[in-house]
C-alpha cells in the first residue's frame, strides 16, 4: 500500500464520491439519496469554509478513500465539549473494494490518515463523532488509540464522541506493528 493525499476537487471528483456515498455500506455518511450536484454543493461548501477541508486518498495512484479534517470549534461540536488547543476533527470514508476485501486495509488507511494529521506540530488530539450505531468504526477507532468520551446529540445523528492523543496513536501503532526488539514481539 502506497498512500498519497490530494485536495478533493468538488467539480471533478463529485461523480467518483457520489458512487461511494450512495452505496449501502456508506449509510452512516448520510448521503444515500444525494445527487451528483448535491455532492458538488456539499464539498464546494466544505472546501471554501476555511475550517473544514476534504482530501482524496490514493493507493498506488488510484482513489481509495476520502478524509476530511475540520476545526471542532467551528463545527456542530462547538459547545458540546471543551475544545482544546491542538484539537482537529476527522471524518473518513473508504472506497468500496474493487476486488475481494483486503484484511486490515481500512485500519491501514486510518493509520495513514492519523499519521498525516499528527505530522502537523499543532495537532495534539484527533476528534471523531461517528454515529453511535456504527459499531464497526468504534472497534477500529479503539484499535488505533481513540478513547470514547460519551454520546452526544448532533443535528444529524446521535454520535459517540471519541478522542485520540498523539501518544495513544503511537502506542496503538506500536502494538499493531511490534518490532523484533519490542518485548511483546514474536520471533
Q: How does DSSP assign 40-80, residue by residue?
A: HHHHHHHHHSSSEEEEEEEETTEEEEEEEEE-GGGSTTBTT
Give me the pLDDT at residue 98, please.
81
pLDDT per residue over 141-169, tens digit each? Answer: 999 999 999 999 999 999 999 999 999 99
**Kind and range of the H or E run holding 128:** strand 125-128
Chain segment 101-148, per-residue pLDDT in tens = 889 999 999 999 999 999 999 999 999 999 999 999 999 999 999 999
DSSP H or E segment with residue 100: none
pTM of whole model > 0.85? yes
Whether residue 182 is predicted with pLDDT greater than 80 in this model: the reply is no
Instruction: Examine the pLDDT at 180 and tell me if it is beyond 80.
Output: no
Q: What pLDDT does 126 receive?
A: 98
- Mean pLDDT score across all residues of the chain: 93
62 Cβ contact partners less than 8 Å away, ≥ 6 residues apart:
98
Give the C-alpha separation, 78 to 87, whole Å.
12
pLDDT, tens digit, 9 for 90 and up, residues 72-104: 999 999 999 999 999 999 999 999 988 888 899
pLDDT tens string 6-31: 999 999 999 999 999 999 999 999 99
How are beta strands 87-94 and 52-59 bridged, if at all? unpaired
Q: Is the pLDDT of residue 57 over 90?
A: yes
Is residue 181's pLDDT more than 90? no
- Interatomic CA distance for residues 128 and 124, integer angstroms: 14
Q: Check if the beta carbon of residue 151 is closer than 8 Å to that of residue 134.
A: no
The CATH classification number of 3-176 equals 3.40.630.30
Joined grid coordinates for residue 43? 464539498
Residue 187 has pLDDT above 60, yes or no: no
> What one-character DSSP code corresponds to residue 103?
T
Amino acid at each position: 500500500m502506497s498512500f498519497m493525499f490530494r485536495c478533493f476537487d468538488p467539480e471533478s471528483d463529485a461523480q467518483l464520491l457520489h458512487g461511494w456515498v450512495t452505496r449501502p455500506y456508506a449509510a452512516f455518511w448520510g448521503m444515500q439519496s444525494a445527487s451528483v450536484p448535491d455532492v458538488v454543493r456539499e464539498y464546494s461548501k466544505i472546501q471554501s469554509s476555511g475550517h473544514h477541508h476534504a482530501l482524496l486518498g490514493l493507493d498506488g495512484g488510484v482513489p481509495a478513500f476520502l478524509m476530511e479534517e475540520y476545526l471542532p470549534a467551528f463545527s456542530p461540536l462547538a459547545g458540546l465539549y471543551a475544545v482544546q488547543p491542538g484539537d482537529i476533527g476527522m471524518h473518513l470514508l473508504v472506497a468500496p473494494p474493487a476486488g475481494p476485501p483486503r484484511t486490515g486495509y481500512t485500519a491501514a488507511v486510518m493509520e495513514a490518515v492519523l499519521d498525516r494529521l499528527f505530522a502537523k506540530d499543532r495537532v495534539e488530539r484527533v476528534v471523531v463523532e461517528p454515529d453511535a450505531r456504527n459499531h464497526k468504526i468504534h472497534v477500529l477507532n479503539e484499535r488505533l488509540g481513540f478513547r470514547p468520551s460519551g454520546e452526544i446529540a448532533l443535528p444529524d445523528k446521535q454520535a459517540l464522541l471519541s478522542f485520540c492523543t498523539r501518544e495513544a496513536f503511537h502506542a496503538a501503532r506500536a502494538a499493531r506493528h511490534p518490532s523484533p526488539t519490542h518485548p511483546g514481539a514474536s520471533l
